[in-house]
Chain A
């Protein structure tokens, strides 16, 4: 597998961990990973948004336990720190969906510097997802 495309929609802390971990694993094999953040997940590409991610619904009460165990596993338990670690691998690119950015308040002024930019979903689907060896949707 030379390339992987991942589309992330869910923004709760626990649900965003899985695609980030998969990207981390793929990058450790030298796989090029392109990630598109859509819907509420686009907020993760801002400093404030990444810091505000929490666990929803029936799992909310377990958030402290989950964060503690994430740290025990060796991962940063802060989403922005994970994004920075992924970026430093040199194999992972982050893109914010332009529609999601318009709806949820993410623009060039608050986008984290680790992100490649704000892009149209059509471009991502055609130039990244359709050409990738593997696609995942979360």
Chain B
């Protein structure tokens, strides 16, 4: 059980670079500081892209999990 509450979910399943990042950026703009976005992705490129995007934009990557080819990221909006 996660120690945080997800505010919003973004499902990018089936989409490939650059769309998971582009859509994550758009989704984060609609959130308030402290909100947590769950990103679902199947593009394995996101395993490096999402952490890099978080670092670049000042957001916090809380967790990354993978199950049966489905990746889930939890990102807290800090900026």
A interface, CB within 8 angstroms of B: 1, 21, 24-25, 27-30, 72-75
Contact = CB atoms under 8 A, between A and B. Distances in A.
B57 A29 contact: yes
A73 B19 contact: yes
Contacts of B12: 74
User: Which of under 10, 10 to 19, 20 to 34, or 35 or more describes the interface residues of B?
Assistant: 10 to 19
Contacts of B57: 29-30
A119 to B, nearest CB: 26
A87 B18 CA distance: 15
Contacts, number: 35
B15 A28 contact: no
6 contacts: A21-B17, A27-B22, A28-B18, A29-B53, A74-B12, A74-B15
A134 B12 CA distance: 29
B20 to A, nearest CB: 8
B53 A24 contact: no
Secondary structure type dominating chain B contacts: helix
Contact of A24 (B14, B16, B22, B24): B22
B50 to A, nearest CB: 11
B48 interface: no
A27 B24 CA distance: 12
A26 to B, nearest CB: 9
B71 interface: no
Interface in B23-66: 23-25, 53, 56-57
Contacts of B21: 25, 28
B16 A73 contact: yes
